[in-house]
A = this chain, B = another copy of it.
């Protein structure tokens, strides 16, 4: 049995999507067991609505409070012990049988709680945030770190590469993932000292399929499976990719509605546009995971629906099922001169 704890609040459509996603996941995986945290009246009302009830594989733990996205993360995780997120983290810490957690609440609070409360796997310098984006040839690309560590050392970047590679292999079935270093040019000597040294370390890491530097313009080409970056530039990369796609879609829509003729054309092409929209919907690619944490922690988008929430649960489930944590620890043990 794989046991996970589910933070039922903090999203745009919480707790309904969280509870419905949980039920979907339970139906999909017979060896999955979930503990839902949040206001018990609200959570139970959702269970009633869905015709589900508590039992051996599903229980509710009361937590009346919610951490808002505008709260300062380090304060929130210290003060709001009765929040759905911190109650989930507390369960994760106190019960060794619970292997992971899913939340669509405050990213900052979850990152802070993961690092400060849950702890790291053996050998990990810094846990890192790894979202997945779709590529233009129908594949995916992971970005690690996308914002948990705004200040990095070269050694951290090497660990991000090792952890991210193993994650893509185990959870997404990517064989021998092609790893690139985000830089300002493709030549080996590009970038600041951090990136020059990271390039050298990555080149010298046995077992890693390091293919060199990547410029941000090539993220979506499908030529790379994992992009390694410091959390500052990784955050800029992910958000500008999402932002540009979103703004362009919005402009396209506005322009279509500006003339009847265009509306007719768009009607003929409605299936294609629906597919483009679906393709660019980040929710279809699951949540971001915190790699290197002692437990499997998945953060879904705040605007997740039940289907994407269930996908986040599936990610945490597959991380545990594949033994990802143990594999990462073994990988890090083998790293030359790993600074532990």
Contacts and interface: CB of A to CB of B under 8 A. Distances in A.
Interface in A47-103: 72
Given A251-B136, A272-B255, A236 B216 contact: yes
Nearest to A234: B236
Interface stretch (A11-19, A204-212, A259-267): A259-267
Contacts of A235: 184, 215-216
A151 B193 contact: yes
13 contacts: A72-B187, A136-B247, A136-B251, A150-B184, A184-B236, A216-B237, A218-B243, A240-B241, A240-B244, A255-B272, A261-B268, A262-B272, A269-B269
Contact of A236 (B182, B265, B269, B275): B182
A236 B215 CA distance: 7
A190 to B, nearest CB: 8
A220 B236 contact: no
Given A151-B193, A233-B233, A272-B255, A247 B221 contact: yes
Nearest to A261: B268
Interface string A218-241: 111100000000011101110111
Contacts of A219: 240, 243-244
Contacts of A218: 243
A272 B252 CA distance: 9
Contacts of A239: 215-217
Contact of A244 (B241, B259, B267, B269): B241
Contacts of A72: 187
A191 B231 CA distance: 9
A340 interface: no
